[in-house]
């Protein structure tokens, strides 16, 4: 299963994510990101996203893992 990125419930790609993050950070300089993943998302994909967010100036974030029941 391929990992999918969503921002505010809308699908996004790394190609346009940097511009969106910059716009949101400009509007709210102390913005925090919530990274949410299900248990099937590879750890490396989560780390890649966190690194991408940090490199784009957002250093406050929380991580949520959705556990299967």
pTM, whole model, 2 decimals?
0.85
User: What pLDDT digit, counting tens, does each position of 37-69 carry?
Assistant: 988 889 999 999 999 999 999 999 898 887 766
On whether the CB atoms of residues 60 and 23 are closer than 8 A, the answer is no
User: Would you state the pLDDT for residue 69?
Assistant: 64
Structural tokens at position 49: 């996203």
């Amino acid at each position: 299963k391929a990992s999918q990125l969503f921002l505010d419930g809308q699908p996004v790609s790394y190609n346009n994510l940097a511009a969106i993050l910059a716009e949101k950070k400009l509007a709210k300089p102390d913005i925090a990101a919530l990274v949410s993943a299900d248990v099937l998302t590879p750890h490396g994909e989560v780390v890649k996203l966190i690194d991408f967010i940090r490199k784009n100036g957002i250093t406050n974030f929380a991580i949520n893992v959705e556990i299967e029941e």
